[in-house]
């Protein structure tokens, strides 16, 4: 049994200051809801909500793993993962703002 439902998590999500005060989405808009969707098992919906979510999760795992286990090419792997993730976030943001 899950402790929270996505509808329950909505009460605890932080509002986007950029959207609130400037009226448009920032590059991070959607991360919290995407994580909530992953928590609920909605993996495709999470990707549609925020395409960079899986890259960010992988990057976080690689960084934490690197703190405890030193492995060959860790710096190169983290750098490539970060670059691909940033590119995914920027490209998806550009698509999002130009199509809405």
Using pLDDT thresholds of 50, 70 and 90, give the confidence band for residue 44: very high
pLDDT of 53-77, one tens digit each?
999 999 999 999 999 998 889 999 9
**Higher pLDDT pick, 22 / 47:** 47
Q: What tokens does 16 get?
A: 């986007």
pLDDT of 12-38, one tens digit each?
777 788 888 888 888 888 899 999 999
- Of 83, 29, 92, 33, the C-alpha closest to 59 is 83
Say whether pTM exceeds 0.95. no
**In the chain, where the domains are located:** 18-99
pLDDT of residue 15: 79
């Amino acid at each position: 049994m899950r402790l929270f439902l996505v509808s329950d998590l909505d009460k605890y999500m932080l509002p986007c200051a950029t959207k609130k005060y400037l009226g448009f989405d920032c590059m991070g808009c959607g991360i919290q809801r995407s994580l909530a969707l992953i928590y609920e098992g909605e993996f495709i919906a999470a990707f549609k909500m925020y395409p960079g979510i899986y890259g960010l999760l992988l990057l976080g795992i690689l960084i934490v793993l690197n703190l405890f286990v030193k492995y060959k090419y860790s710096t190169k792997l983290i750098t490539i993962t970060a670059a691909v993730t940033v590119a995914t976030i920027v490209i998806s943001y550009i698509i999002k703002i130009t199509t809405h």
